[in-house]
Amino acid sequence: MSGAGDSVPAPAAASPRSTRSARRLIAPLALAQFICSFAGSNMNVMINDISRDLDTTVKGVQTAITLFLLIMAILMIPCSKLTDRWGRKRCFTWGLGLYGIGALLSAVSPGLGVLILGNSVFEGVGTALLIPPVYILATLWFDDMTSRAWAFGVISGLGGIGAAAGPLIGGLITSAISWRAAFVFQALVVATIVLLSRRLEDPLPPDPIRPFDATGAVLSGVGMFFVVFGILQAGTNNVLFAVCLAVGALFLAAFFLFIRRLERSGKEPLLSSGLFKNRTCNLALVTQNIQWLLLMGSSFVVSVFLQEVRGYSAIKTGVIFTAATLGILFSSLAAERLAKRFAQRTLIVAGFVVTLAGIVLLLALVPSWDSIWAFVPGLALVGLGLGGMLTPSVNVVQSSFPEALQGEISGLSRSVSNLGSSFGTAIAGTVIVSVIAPGNRAYGWAMAVLVVFGLIGLGAALLLPSKVQRA
């Protein structure tokens, strides 16, 4: 594969560490992915508590959650490029610091504005800095598909568990203490990760003279912002919705034309356009995006429905999500064993089928059965299906490119995943909070939207090849 990203040679990797040593050091990386995913979903069960305490609305809390996910998506690619320039461990440590500051600021926020500053901005920027090193280091430490499947299984599995267990842990803390204590919990976990990561070593030395495409970063970031912001306006201001989507599309088109011009002039762009010439990677990125869209979308929709329509408390809402957490935990723990027995494509296809079955059950049972048990089978299948395919999708994407391009593809992969999380909360969330279709109707429409996206993801998975060929 050719591209401007190849014009600046990457330093040679250090001698590979032993598998036993790498497996010990995977703990802080996995825990980092856990807490970042936790932050994206734990606020879902605090909607009523935060709304009352900060004198805001469900839409206001939705905006804070979506902005957190969006800022991650916007900055993930630029920050992944900076890992080459500043070093992976340094970016990881700086990201943890920013995240911890944001968590503490959110815990003492007097209003929605400060909450957005702490949770959406500081935690979002911190996450964008620390997550790319997680996947780059795991890729560099493990050089075969099976061991890499184990590493990604642990990391992605804890990420999925963090997203699924966010409502449960957040609900427990909110009911026992306060929603503010949930952010203190995040700060404590970050402090633990800092201690665990002291022995982390970067296999590749930083390259301080590596160029950075600031213009490309601005164009891509502004484009993605307007797309997601426009989606948030759907149903309330359709003119602004259309304008924002059009502006976002223009900026993204300008970004693509700009990086192509840089490549033709022999310079290094923010993202090599050659990355998009790998059909297998493109399809796997689609599946990644939709997996997180389904996970965060279903979590937000069910949480809002339980609190706003059924009147459930934070703890009762969180406990219901135990089914999804257990499903993700079970399938994630089996990731390495499944990778030895089945092709990555088979696992992704099976994951979408099981997840779609779960969403259909949630769509069919919940409106007609006024019991918490109506949620259990659907959420369990959603968790089982998503947990089973998160790892294979990451493995396919990362394994499609050589070590020299791991910084770029890791950033693109994480950006696409977080953009999916943003879309899930923005699209399905906008339907559930819409005044046009209140109550069960809003819930039904939101779940139907998720089914449509699930079918698109299944279609992309079916087009994946049985074996992954490295570019």
Distance separating alpha carbons of residues 245 and 405, to the nearest angstrom = 31
**Total residues belonging to the chain:** 471
Distance separating alpha carbons of residues 313 and 296, to the nearest angstrom = 20
Query: Over the range 370-403, which residues count as b (16 or more CB within 10 Å of their CB) and which as e?
Result: eeeebbbebbbbbbbbbbbbbbbbbbbbbbbbeb
Of 80, 93, 72, residue with least CA distance to 28: 93
Residue 47: both structure tokens together: 């909607």
What is the identity of the amino acid at 135? Y
166 within 8 A of 146, measured Cβ to Cβ: no
Distance separating alpha carbons of residues 393 and 246, to the nearest angstrom = 30
Q: What is the pLDDT of residue 423?
A: 80
Of 19, 11, 69, residue with least CA distance to 299: 69
Which residues, other chains included, contact 79 with Cβ-Cβ below 8 Å and sequence gap of 6+? 91, 95, 128, 129, 132, 411
Per-residue pLDDT of the chain (471 residues; tens, 9 = 90+): 333 333 333 333 333 445 556 566 788 999 998 998 888 778 878 888 899 999 988 878 878 888 887 888 788 888 888 888 898 899 999 999 999 999 999 999 999 999 999 999 999 999 989 988 888 888 777 766 667 767 777 887 788 778 778 888 888 898 899 999 999 999 999 999 999 988 888 888 888 888 888 899 899 889 988 988 887 776 667 788 889 999 999 999 999 999 999 989 988 888 787 778 888 888 989 999 999 899 888 888 888 888 878 888 888 888 888 888 888 878 877 776 787 788 888 999 999 999 999 999 998 888 778 788 888 999 999 999 988 888 788 778 877 777 666 667 777 777 788 778 778 777 777 776 664 445 577 888 888 989 999 999 999 999 998 775 554
Q: What is the pLDDT of residue 50?
A: 92
Q: What is the pLDDT of residue 436?
A: 40
Place of tokens 């990451």: 394
391 within 8 A of 156, measured Cβ to Cβ: yes
Q: What is the pLDDT of residue 282?
A: 87
Query: Over the range 68-85, which residues count as b (16 or more CB within 10 Å of their CB) and which as e?
Result: bbbbbbbbbbbbbbbbbb
145 within 8 A of 395, measured Cβ to Cβ: yes
Q: What is the pLDDT of residue 349?
A: 94
Which residues, other chains included, contact 419 with Cβ-Cβ below 8 Å and sequence gap of 6+? 70, 73, 224, 228, 289
Distance separating alpha carbons of residues 402 and 1, to the nearest angstrom = 10
Place of tokens 């909070």: 433
Q: What is the 3-state secondary structure (H, E, C) of the chain?
A: CCCHHHCCCCCCCCCCCCHHHHHHHHHHHHHHHHHHHHHHHHHHHHHHHHHHHHCCCHHHHHHHHHHHHHHHHHHHHHHHHHHHHHCHHHHHHHHHHHHHHHHHHHHCCCCHHHHHHHHHHHHHHHHHHHHHHHHHHHHHHCCCHHHHHHHHHHHHHHHHHHHHHHHHHHHHHHHHCCHHHHHHHHHHHHHHHHHHHHHCCCCCCCCCCCCCCHHHHHHHHHHHHHHHHHHHCCCCCHHHHHHHHHHHHHHHHHHHHHHHHHHHCCCCCCCCHHHHHCHHHHHHHHHHHHHHHHHHHHHHHHHHHHHHHCCCCHHHHHHHCHHHHHHHHHHHHCHHHHHHHCCHHHHHHHHHHHHHHHHHHHHHHCCCCCCHHHCHHHHHHHHHHHHHHHHHHHHHHHCCCCHHHHHHHHHHHHHHHHHHHHHHHHHHHHHHCCCCCCHHHHHHHHHHHHHHHHHHHHHHHHCCCCCCCCC
Residue 216: both structure tokens together: 């490309």
127 within 8 A of 36, measured Cβ to Cβ: yes
Q: What is the pLDDT of residue 438?
A: 54
Distance separating alpha carbons of residues 378 and 383, to the nearest angstrom = 9
Q: What is the pLDDT of residue 146?
A: 66
Of 447, 215, 245, 457, residue with least CA distance to 345: 457
Q: What is the pLDDT of residue 106?
A: 95
* Residue 44 half-sphere exposure toward CB, CA atoms < 13 A: 39
Q: What is the pLDDT of residue 435?
A: 46
Distance separating alpha carbons of residues 62 and 470, to the nearest angstrom = 40
174 within 8 A of 46, measured Cβ to Cβ: yes
Q: What is the pLDDT of residue 385?
A: 93
What is the identity of the amino acid at 37? S
